[in-house]
Structure 1
Amino acid sequence: MKKRVQLFILFLFSVLGNSFAQTNDSTQVDSDQAVVYDFVIFNARFQNAFTFLGRDFGLDIPVLSNDMMYYFQGGVYVNLSALKFMEENLPWQYALSLGYATDLSEKTDINLSYSQFLVAGESAVAGIQNLAFLQGTFGWEWGPLYSSFQNQLLFNGDIDYFFETHHSRYFEFDQKLFKKITVAFEPKLSLMAGTDNFYLMGLYEIKPEELSEFNKFKFQSMEISLPVTLTRGMFEFEIFGRYVRPFNVPEFDFSRPRFIYGAQMSYSLPIKRTKKSKL
């Protein structure tokens, strides 16, 4: 059970890393509006199994996550996340994040964030209360695709470095469903490489020759996903499917390629701030 608790907190890192990389896309404000808005964004997400770096560690446990983000119109955001794994005797997982997202130009953007993770209750796993990560993402809409390039540092005693890249294409139907709902989909390919020191938190029986490999930078995973979104006003509902393929998996890790499915719902609450000056 100790091993499972530690691996589940890593899932939170994986979810937040992906969602923050997309923050700048999901909270755009029209610069031509007469009024400037902040946003409070509520999000609930379910998926049938957790993964981290494409790994499920031989486990098959569904997870429910909830987020509340305050996004300032200047680009700063604060996010509180809570996750519940659908198995008895597992504590709630929490994360508090501070970030900044902004457009550099009409086709490029950046996103910087720091996240600190917490576990409800006590854990006998060393270092689990101090898990954190620092992330920087550059996004580029270069024509046929929107591509993002992400660097991440995971802190928990030993430090892991990851590089992740996402490539997607957004499609939106011209005709609205029931004349009210916008339907869109965005196929995406994700690739990740990095180090393996996170295995040291899992209480595995590790051979000396395996330990020497943990600091080596290697290909970690590939994911192909297809989310479909239904949007009406400030409400958005999404269903998604993902094919997840891990690489360079040690012998003691029973992760395998698999399909993941799930759904999420979000609501953006606009908060009027100040009117822009008129020239």
Structure 2
Amino acid sequence: MRFIFLLILISTTSFNVQAQQDSVKKTTLTLATLYNSNVSYYGQTTDEKLPYILGNATVRFPIGLYLSAGAYKLLNYGSGLSETDIGIGYDYNFNEKINTTLAYTRSFFPANSPLLQASNENNINLSINYKWKWLQSSLSTDYAFGKENDIFISLTHSKEISIGSLFNEKNILSIEPAFELIAGTRHFYETYTIEKNKRNNSHGKGKGPASSGNSNSTSITTVASESFNLLSYNFKLPLSLSRASYLAEISYQISILGPKAEADLKPQQSFFGVAFYYQF
């Protein structure tokens, strides 16, 4: 997930620290923990706020291959884990300006999951990054499949800006504002609305959120559009503090949905997150 995030969505956890310059020829292990105020699926959120915490471990090998495993927990829904995932990927650097990543992630969701992405358990990602003189651009394509099949294309422009140091010259402060456009299909939404109806009907049986506040609400099952449309505009502003082997980050994101978004999704949403990464 770049989304998931992560994105993901996050499909895998990655970050920029000074230690990466010295770790090209050795195997590294990166551990990450993250909190976010709401789940975002390519800039889209449900009508119910779902804050969560996430944990991830990624092993990178000198040949460019990496393996990852992660899990996250929705803080206001159920008692167990809300999703777990495993992934494999490969990074290749053509030169100092161009690099590509190919990755596959398999996610596991509990029954009646409230997540938009729960119908697409598999994700294949191909991304190309190019470093211009003043900024970095990334073109990413995701094929998400499982109960449904969806394609997403993301175009991101970002600029890393060094602010200075904190406490001493080894602690580097930086910001990396980014603007992202995401287009794709919406087949996943059909399964989401069906599962939402099931959850609404099962309230009072221990399967719903701990406190949803809208147990009397109803939803209409909408057949997802077959067309490929603009899904969201996203602006991100992360502030990070990095040293040789760790990075701490706070971030803010605002997402605005495209003109053909489903009525059950919030047209505009803000996200706040904190994260910590440590590399061995």
TM-score range, shorter chain: 0.7 to 0.9
Equivalent-residue separation in structure 1 for 2:131 and 2:80 (angstroms)? 40
Aligned-pair CA distance for 1:193? 0.2
SS at match of 1:238: strand
Distance 1:165 1:25, change over 3 A: farther
The amino acid across from 1:205 in the alignment is I
Residue number in structure 1 paired with 2:98? 108
Q: Unmatched 5+ residue regions in structure 1?
A: 1-9, 270-279
C-alpha RMSD of matched pairs (Å): 2.6
Task: Report 1:238-257 matches (<5 A).
Answer: 238-247=249-258, 248-251=260-263, 253-257=264-268
Residue number in structure 2 paired with 1:153? 143
Residue number in structure 2 paired with 1:30? 21
Distance 1:36 1:23, change over 3 A: same
Equivalent-residue separation in structure 2 for 1:217 and 1:189 (angstroms)? 21
Q: Unmatched 5+ residue regions in structure 2?
A: 195-218
SS at match of 1:30: helix
Aligned-pair CA distance for 1:23? 3.7
Question: Quick one: which of 236, 239, 250 aligns to 1:225?
Answer: 236
Residue number in structure 2 paired with 1:14? 5
Task: Report 1:1-279 matches (<5 A).
Answer: 13-17=4-8, 19=10, 23=14, 29-30=20-21, 36-89=25-78, 91-92=80-81, 93-119=83-109, 123=111, 131-173=121-163, 175-179=164-168, 180-202=170-192, 203=194, 205-207=220-222, 211=223, 214-247=225-258, 248-251=260-263, 253-269=264-280
Distance 1:128 1:222, change over 3 A: closer
Please tell me whether the aligned partners of residues 192 and 220 of structure 1 are also in contact (alpha carbons under 8 angstroms).
yes
Equivalent-residue separation in structure 1 for 2:75 and 2:159 (angstroms)? 33
Equivalent-residue separation in structure 2 for 1:263 and 1:256 (angstroms)? 24
Aligned-pair CA distance for 1:28? 7.4
Aligned-pair CA distance for 1:146? 0.2
Please tell me whether the aligned partners of residues 237 and 265 of structure 1 are also in contact (alpha carbons under 8 angstroms).
yes
Aligned-pair CA distance for 1:259? 1.5
Please tell me whether the aligned partners of residues 4 and 10 of structure 2 are also in contact (alpha carbons under 8 angstroms).
no
Residue number in structure 1 paired with 2:207? none
Distance 1:117 1:62, change over 3 A: same
The amino acid across from 1:14 in the alignment is F
The amino acid across from 1:187 in the alignment is P
The amino acid across from 2:242 in the alignment is T
Aligned length: 249
Moved more, 180-189 or 83-92: 83-92
Moved more, 87-96 or 67-76: 87-96
Equivalent-residue separation in structure 2 for 1:112 and 1:242 (angstroms)? 25
Equivalent-residue separation in structure 2 for 1:22 and 1:80 (angstroms)? 9
Q: Percent identity?
A: 19
SS at match of 1:147: strand
Please tell me whether the aligned partners of residues 65 and 88 of structure 2 are also in contact (alpha carbons under 8 angstroms).
yes
State the TM-score, normalizing by the size of structure 1: 0.81
Please tell me whether the aligned partners of residues 12 and 68 of structure 2 are also in contact (alpha carbons under 8 angstroms).
no
Residue number in structure 2 paired with 1:274? none
SS at match of 1:181: strand
Runs of 4+ in 1 over 2 A off after TM superposition: 10-14, 16-31, 127-130, 204-207
Aligned-pair CA distance for 1:24? 8.0
Distance 1:222 1:257, change over 3 A: same
Aligned-pair CA distance for 1:235? 1.4
Distance 1:243 1:222, change over 3 A: same
Residue number in structure 1 paired with 2:214? none
Please tell me whether the aligned partners of residues 19 and 245 of structure 2 are also in contact (alpha carbons under 8 angstroms).
no
State the TM-score, normalizing by the size of structure 2: 0.80
Please tell me whether the aligned partners of residues 117 and 129 of structure 1 are also in contact (alpha carbons under 8 angstroms).
no
Distance 1:150 1:142, change over 3 A: same
SS at match of 2:21: coil
Aligned-pair CA distance for 1:200? 1.8
